[in-house]
Amino acid sequence: MNFELTDDHLSVQKLTREFAAKTIAPGLRERDRENRFDRNILTKMAESDILGICLPEKYGGAGMDYISLGLACEELEYIDTSARVILSVHIGLNSLTLLSWGNQFQKEKYLTPQAKGEKIASFGLTEPNAGSDVVGIQTTAVKRGDRYILNGEKMWISLADIADHFLVFGWTDIVKKNKRDHTGISAFIVERPFAGVTTGSIHGKLGVRAGNTGWVAMQDVEVPAENLVGNEGEGFKIAMFCLEQGRYTVAAGSAGLIRACLDACVTYSHTRKAFEVPIAEHQLVKEMIAGMEAGFQISRLLWLKAGWMRNVGLRATRETALAKWIACEQAEKAAADSVQVHGAYGFSDEYPVERFYRNAKGASIYEGTREIQKLMQADYALGFRADRPRRVNLPPWPFGDGV
């Protein structure tokens, strides 16, 4: 494995860093206070090719690789988690799934406008009473002629009030539903204009307040059979694929949050004095800053390894889960320590570490809780899960002109 970033990687890093500083940072504190999502950010992301960064040029994307996606996530979350969430759902949970599991019709109709940023995509698996327990979902999809009739509600959906397309999951086999047999779940592309689709926002969130999170309800929604992704019964397998891509983006983003905490604390500790010297000279402050540095380096190496494996077409489920678990855990610790370093000022939104602290918590829950990631690592170590590198549906990156 080569740890050196290529010129293309450095270009993506620089472009995204400048984009985030210029477009996302201004007015962020006000948007966070007001729980307000700025739709203009999506437009500007599309204009900068960020919304299609690792999608093939053949479908309107920028044709970059998996490492580039991680770098973009890291730079976006360095400024604010809500910006990284956009890539997690639009690319990680939805677009990469269509690229791998969608047929040619679906790629041309849905993936192409998503890669260009003309349409925004989201993902709907979690429900009011089903999160980690995927087979606990209650959404049903009953086939009638050339259509499926979907009924159910999805909860904690990022971009719920913004997205044009939703990748949703429901039971197509009620007998298997009653037996909790995951082979009865299927995946569908649902468009916002379909009759019976309604959405709403969730207010009062602890963090990611400048992002849009909500619910999606479907009442007798008629979905064309051609919008079935994969085959009937492959929904659970597709959902697990989706979550792996999402975990990768969360891990990379969490590394960005750790770096943001580190930079904020380094700056503050050189200017703030206690006992007549800068607090940077106090050993316990140094200890916390050292922990942030270690957390960042470890987290970045873990997500880079997972990204490199995907770049060469190798399965990286174990590595991605580990990266997600460790990076999110380290981000939480770094955020808590950064508030401590800032003392009373860290308890107000005068400094960004207060926002970092609130935003860090969510990542240890979504895209698979830290407990799920721990169980996965234990199962790999104990031999309950297969641990062999193998080719996945996606071809090796970079895509260039397409698959």
What is the SS3 assignment for the chain? CCCCCCHHHHHHHHHHHHHHHHHHCCCHHHHHHHCCCCCHHHHHHHHCCHHHCCCCHHHCCCCCCHHHHHHHHHHHHHHCHHHHHHHHHHHHHHHHHHHHHCCHHHHHHHHHHHHHCCCCEEEECCECCECCCHHHCCCEEEEECCEEEEEEEEEEEECCCCCCEEEEEEECCHHHHHCCCHHHEEEEEEECCCCCEEEEECCCCCCCCCCCEEEEEEEEEEEEHHHEECCCCCHHHHHHHHHHHHHHHHHHHHHHHHHHHHHHHHHHHHHCEECCEEHHHCHHHHHHHHHHHHHHHHHHHHHHHHHHHHHCCECCHHHHHHHHHHHHHHHHHHHHHHHHHHHHHHHCCCCCHHHHHHHHHHHCCCCCCHHHHHHHHHHHHHCCCCCCCCECCCCCCCCCCCC
Among the listed residues 201, 213, 251, the one whose alpha carbon sits nearest the alpha carbon of residue 364: 251
Q: Which residues contact 394 (CB under 8 A, 6 or more apart)?
A: 96, 99, 100, 310, 313
Give me the residue label for tokens 């087979």: 135
Buried b / exposed e over 324-335, threshold 16 CB at 10 Å, is bbbbbbbbbbbb
Catalytic positions, please?
367
